[in-house]
Amino acid sequence: MRNISSLSEQKNSLVFRLAFLMIAMIISFSVSASQNRDAVKDSLNAIEIAGISLNTPAEAITKILQAQDYVSVNEDVYTKQEPASNGRSTVYRIEIEDTPAFRQLSYSRNLTGGRNKSPSARDAAIPADEMTAVQRLYDSVCAVSEELQTQRACVPPTPANIIVGHGQLIAIDQHHSILLKASDASTSMMIRFMKKP
């Protein structure tokens, strides 16, 4: 009788240990998945475009952009204009939207004006002052499996052209969407963080 009782206790102990191990594994997988989501969130929120990111406090943005000769159009939009070749100008625009639903940082650079509307040189490089942000954004979105690269339409980058999602806004996860289309002639970047999924 004592052997049967001992076997029963060992069986109960083994079942308890297995149940405990399974619970520990589930918790471990949940924590790991949460950390991966947080890493993507932190990565995208920390990408600096013209010295600011989604993590930059609102009160610091104006000072940072004014130091780079941006002019405030309103509380959300900043622009600057620089001369370019052939009598044209390069216009930069940064917009920071902070609503109860989302926080968004968008940047664009375009050539405007001029009498000679000749196209820019083919395959000229993306300007160096943009390349760091463009490359970080591309890497954050496209350093994933081939299946996700295909879903996100990650075109292999070149010094003259970096594009994701056919140049359209695409969802990366339940909180983040991005837009990336960069070339020597123009660049558009946007990072949107949805505060509530």
DSSP 83-105: E-GGG-EEEEEEEEEE-SSEEEE
Query: Rounded distance, CA 151 to CA 69, Å?
Result: 38
- 53 three-state secondary structure: coil
pLDDT confidence of residue 29: 43
Query: Rounded distance, CA 139 to CA 46, Å?
Result: 13
Do residues 54 and 90 both lie within one domain? yes
This prediction has a pTM of: 0.76
Q: Which amino acid is at 105?
A: L
Residue 17 falls within a domain, yes or no?
Answer: yes
Do residues 19 and 98 both lie within one domain? no
Do residues 2 and 62 both lie within one domain? no
Residue 169 falls within a domain, yes or no?
Answer: yes
DSSP string, 136-155: HHHHHHHSS-HHHHHHTT-P
* Number of compact structural domains in the chain: 2
Do residues 163 and 117 both lie within one domain? yes
Do residues 14 and 83 both lie within one domain? no
Paired residues of 183 in beta bridges: 161
pLDDT confidence of residue 132: 94
Q: What is the pLDDT along the chain (197 residues), one digit of tens a residue?
A: 555 566 566 666 555 554 544 554 454 444 433 344 445 557 899 999 999 999 999 999 999 999 999 999 999 999 999 998 878 899 999 999 999 999 999 999 998 876 655 555 567 899 999 999 999 999 999 999 999 999 999 999 999 999 999 999 999 999 999 999 999 889 999 999 999 76
Paired residues of 79 in beta bridges: 71, 93
Do residues 51 and 14 both lie within one domain? no
Residue 177 falls within a domain, yes or no?
Answer: yes
Do residues 114 and 169 both lie within one domain? yes
Do residues 28 and 59 both lie within one domain? no
- 134 three-state secondary structure: helix
Residue 144 falls within a domain, yes or no?
Answer: yes
Question: Among residues 139, 174, 167, 134, which one has the least CA distance to residue 153?
Answer: 167
Q: Where are the extended beta strands (E) located within 113-186?
A: 161-164, 170-171, 176-183
pLDDT confidence of residue 172: 94
Residue 112 falls within a domain, yes or no?
Answer: yes
Token digits of residue 175: 């909180």
Q: Which structural domain range is residue 20 located in? A: 1-36
